Structure 1
Amino acid sequence: MTSLNEYLSLKSKLTKLEEKPDLAKDIAFTEEFLRLKERYNFSASDVLRLIKPSLAFTGISSTECIHEALQSIAKDAPDIKSTAKSMRRYRNPHTGEVVETRGSNHNRLKAWKEQYGSAAVTSWREI
């Protein structure tokens, strides 16, 4: 009976693991990696040497080690934040009114473009 309990426990763990979205990504990565490795006739240690030279001489060159090396590189990489749009300032020469915006979806700016035309409003932009 212990074997049956162990089997059922492992089967439930496997089912839970298969439901995780990360598993599908990891499987896809491994399959693609193996395809490329075979296509370009690279060994796992060759790939590891390209990815992270400091790990290349450890003697470990399995796909799992390469996957871990890629993950550690991704964790060490600085977060790239999207750059915020610069503030744009438009001054209406007819009224002296000023609009500051980061995008072109400003209600006052739209009204001006309808009234005076897009080219005219664009020329009012201050640097």
Structure 2
Amino acid sequence: MSKLAEFKALEAKLAEQLAQLDALKNDKELKREIEFEQKLRALLGEYDFSLRNVIAILDPEVSRNATPKKAAGQRRARAVKVYINPKTNERVETKGGNHAVLKAWKAEHGAEAVEAWLQ
């Protein structure tokens, strides 16, 4: 596509979007919603309330049953693994494989043997 054709296509698309924006600006329902939101936010600020406070007041069941959402990228906690060396009865508790004693055991006895010691 030539630069001129691309320019004209984008210009036509922009004109269409501007027409849609003008239509929305003149929409009474949108103006009413914007006015409501502004007044609501001002009222919340005046009384130092958040939307959660309002929901808890209006519908307490929702706030009681609501479970906190996980943050994005957050994992559940790792389970504790317990290894017991059958030769020395030494016990190691770890949540991951980066434990110094566990690494030493794996170097000495082999990873498969140490994994067999998992309780």
Q: By the TM > 0.5 criterion, same fold?
A: no
Structure with larger Rg: 2
- Normalising by structure 2, what TM-score? 0.42
